[in-house]
Structure 1
Amino acid sequence: MIPAAHAPTPARRLTVEQVLTGRLVQPLFQPIVDLTTGMVVGLEALARGPAGTVLEFPDRLFAAAIDAGCLGALDLLCSERSLECAIAATTPPPLLFTNAEPAVLDQPLSPHLIELVGGGLPFRQVVEFTERALSAVPGSMLRIAGQTQRWGNGLALDDVGVDPMSLAFLPLVEPEVIKLDMSLLRDPDGDHTRSVCAVVRAEADRTGALVVAEGIETPGDLDTARLLGAQWGQGWLFGRPAGIEQRHRYDASAADLLRPARPGFHERSERAYDCAVDAATPSVATRAEVVAALSRLRDVVAAHDTAVVVMSSADTGLPGVALSLAELASSGRPVIVLDQPATTEFVVAAIAPGRGCAVGLRTSNVLELVTVDDLPTVAVMARALLNRHR
């Protein structure tokens, strides 16, 4: 029996509505470190409810918000409080990483959050998306990404490696930071880890993204993180979550190490077919040539069970073409996003880890066909489609 003097104190009861009304979220901050210099490049804000209450830790706090139907309000409050604390810090971090809850990305930003970020920050914010956001609300995710870039801030893709499908989304987001899930660090020689890190390394080389390894707890983990290609790292070896006034040796140049913001990159206003013809020359095609192009794209999808297919069509098939879109989509078990179709055209874009393929058709007096195998162009086409579906 535990002596009364040493018995754990019962957690105080509190409702999530009280947390929201009193703005009682008190975030903690964990350092992200340059693995070469050992200097702190930024902090990740981690949501916490009031200490000593049943809602102190994020799993219970967010579960309570879901049950009460106020997840969106809580997510906005967490972002606001993270920014408020970092702005008020005696020494703000060069970079502040904040998390975006995928389930509520389709809600508008709060006026207070817009005021905080739009008024100019003494640091660069990096908004983290998890892979759940990519498949759940891709159009809304691109909207938030576009707003983030307009404010001069950056994006991170979190938990990369948990679901291989997140690799296919990398070219769509083109984040400034790619965060390797800690599971990769625990199995560095596994086939899955090797394949994930190869794709991430190629994407980082192509786009200039920085790679962060999560879950670094020991000097051995640090060595492994470097071998996996990470430049930055995060984990208990460098510090546990703490208050914003925790002293750190900041790298004042860290914000400049990220790629400059690219306003408009995620928000394509033109049609996907027009994006295709910027990179490839269309030709007048026969029905047989259209079937052959779609069959080839289907084979690409079928060869990658983590492919993502984004398509625009007024129906489930193309008149006069035997290959239906349903067959095309189901062959590779991809995420399928159907947008509001543009009239007179049909576009399908398939993105697999490190590979892109697209087919575009336009019907007027003749049937025009364009095929694209260039991954960046296919990603541009997919973004154009998704921006019509948000």
Structure 2
Amino acid sequence: MPAPHAPAPAPALTVGEVLAGRLVRPLFQPIVDLSTRTVVGLEALARGPAGTDLEFPDRLFGAARAAGRLGELDMLCSERALEVAVAAPNPPPLLFVNAESGVLDQPLSPRLVELLRNGFPFRQILEFTERALPAVPGSLLRVAGIVHRWGNGLALDDVGADPMSLAFLPLVEPEVIKLDMSIVRNPDAPATRATCEVVRDQARRTGAILVAEGIETEEDFGTARELGAHWGQGWLFGRPVPIEQAGDRFDVDAAGVLPKARPGFHQPAGTPFSIAAGHGPVVTADPGAVAVAMARLRDTVAADAASVVVTSQPLAGTGVDASPARWAEGAGSLIVLDDPIPGEFAAVVLGPGHGYAVCIQSSGTTELVALDHLPTVATIARVLLNRHR
């Protein structure tokens, strides 16, 4: 009996050939309303040429990263997803497109700008992963501003995989919060309960929609609803397929369920002190008041290893010793501005569901505002991060 033939090796292909030939294939997976099981949108997932060694995303993106062309590939994936969805006979009401965290600082491609200017028959939702948050926060806010300027929306993906993602929720304030599949797999874990409490509070405050990922069984479906998810995604509802196979019946009102775009939200006007002064009492920054405020910063950081700290350099000439080395030790992420704010010092601590800020201004007299109102603290953090490169 002849020996069976070994499968033919996958044809070799370079990332350069994929880019030159625009050979990325978008597949689409449904996102459904858990109350009605109607499809509210599709998520675009990139694939390389079928049957090649770069077909699947791990190899495709790994090869692009190794070749120093990750930004080009990420932009091409977005372009192809939008092109295919725009050309579909029955486009979805919402199209979710992923953004690669490491290349958010690149400019938009001419083709992507053209697509945005022409408009879409759907609302685009750009998905950030939690990896983008501490890596390139300034660029993330810049891109978020562009997304809202064109009337589209934002999603924060994989929430719960890392506790630090919860600290960034009020900073980004996405229209969609996607719960990592580990949440559905471990509904009774203390970390799951803590995550869902923070996320539900955020959703109540902002109107964000919660999406549970990784729903593969009816049991997962029931768990997702018990956890408070509004929408869901996973193999129970459909695997990634070409758009013509992704369904032809959509909930046409789905886009209207999400909060509207807020142009300028991610680039707030004013300085940290002026914003803080509008929401908290202004006091003279004598040594005692400064010491109390800095001690609370230090205690807030020490109480939560998932905290995110954003701070400017210490304010010269005021006698205020606010070096991060003295109070920010142990923070999950420390971001120090390389573009100081003239005449001001500001420090923000964001943790899961809470925040604290200290702002000091020196103009004749030295004044201080300290506050823990989370939306205001997040606004101050956005002002700071828009100065961070």
- What is the CA-CA distance between 1:3 and the residue it aligns to? 5.6
CA distance in 1, matches of 2:53, 2:269: 46
TM, length-normalised to structure 1: 0.96
- Distance in 2 separating the partners of 1:31 and 1:323: 49
**Matched residues in 1 for 2:317 and 2:72: separation?**
43
Q: How does 1:1-390 map to 2 (within 5 A)?
A: 4=4, 7-246=6-245, 247-314=247-314, 320-321=319-320, 324-390=323-389
RMSD value over aligned CA atoms?
A: 1.6
Deviates more, 1:167-176 or 1:362-371: 362-371
Q: 1:296 to 1:71 in 2, by over 3 A?
A: same
Q: 1:176-206 deviations in whole A, cap 9, x for unaligned?
A: 0000000111111001111111100110111
Greater alpha carbon shift after TM alignment, 287-296 vs 168-177: 287-296
Q: How many angstroms does 1:274 deviate by?
A: 1.2
Q: Is 1:148–1:155's contact at 8 Å kept on the other side of the alignment? A: yes
Distance 1:361 1:210 in 2: 36
Q: CA deviation at 1:319?
A: 5.4
Q: Which moved more, 1:356-365 or 1:14-23?
A: 356-365
Moved more, 285-294 or 353-362: 285-294
Q: What residue identity is the alignment partner of 2:237?
A: F
Which letter maps to 2:47? R
Q: Residue type of the partner of 1:117?
A: L
When residues 185 and 131 of structure 1 are mapped into structure 2, their CA distance, relative to the original with a 3 A threshold, is same
Q: Deviations over 1:316-339 (max 9, x none)?
A: x88534563212111434332424
Cα distance between partner residues in 2 of 1:50 and 1:2: 32
Deviation per CA, 1:321-377: give whole Å up to 9, x if none.
456321211143433242411111100011111111101101122110111110000
Contact 2:33 2:40 in 1 (8 A): yes
Distance in 2 between residues matched to 1:205 and 1:262, nearest whole Å: 18
Instruction: Report the 3-state secondary structure (helix = DSSP H, G, I; strand = E; otherwise coil) of the residue aligned with 1:356.
Output: strand
Q: What secondary structure is seen at the aligned counterpart in 2 of 1:211?
A: strand
* 8 Å Cα contact 1:318/1:324 also seen in 2: no
Deviation of residue 304 (structure 1)?
A: 1.1
Identify which range, 92-101 or 115-124, moves more after superposition: 115-124
Q: 1:334 to 1:15 in 2, by over 3 A?
A: closer
SS of corresponding position for 1:245? helix
Does the aligned pair in 1 maintain the 2:90–2:248 contact within 8 Å? no
Matched residue of 1:27: which SS? strand
C-alpha distance after superposition, 1:273-330 (max 9, x if no partner): 1111121231223112111111112111111111111111257x88534563212111
1-side partners of 2:3 and 2:176: how far apart? 49
3-state SS in 1 of match to 2:243: coil
Asked whether the equivalents of residues 337 and 387 of structure 2 are also in contact (C-alpha less than 8 Å), the reply is no
Say which SS state the counterpart of residue 42 (structure 1) adopts. Answer: strand
Aligned length: 388
Residues 318, 2 of structure 1: CA spacing in aligned structure 2 closer, same or farther, 3 A cutoff? farther
Q: Is the 8 A contact 1:339 1:386 kept in 2?
A: no
The percentage of aligned residue pairs carrying the same residue is: 62
1:360 and 1:37 mapped to 2: Cα distance?
48
CA distance in 2, matches of 1:159, 1:335: 21
Counterpart-to-counterpart distance in 2, 1:131 and 1:73: 21
Q: Which 5+ residue runs of structure 1 have no aligned equivalent?
A: none
For residues 2 and 320 of structure 1, the distance between their equivalents in structure 2, rounded to whole angstroms, comes to 87
> For residue 106 of structure 2, what is the amino acid of its counterpart?
Q
Letter in 1 for 2:37: G
Q: What are the Cα deviations for residues 42-85 of structure 1, in whole angstroms up to 9, with x where unaligned?
A: 00000100000000000000011011110000000000000000
Q: 1:85 to 1:362 in 2, by over 3 A?
A: same
Does structure 1 retain, via aligned residues, the 8 Å contact 2:312–2:346?
yes
**For residues 334 and 68 of structure 1, what CA distance do their matches in structure 2 show?**
29
Query: Which segments of 5 or more consecutive residues in structure 2 lack a partner in the other structure?
Result: none
1:156 is paired with a residue whose SS is: strand
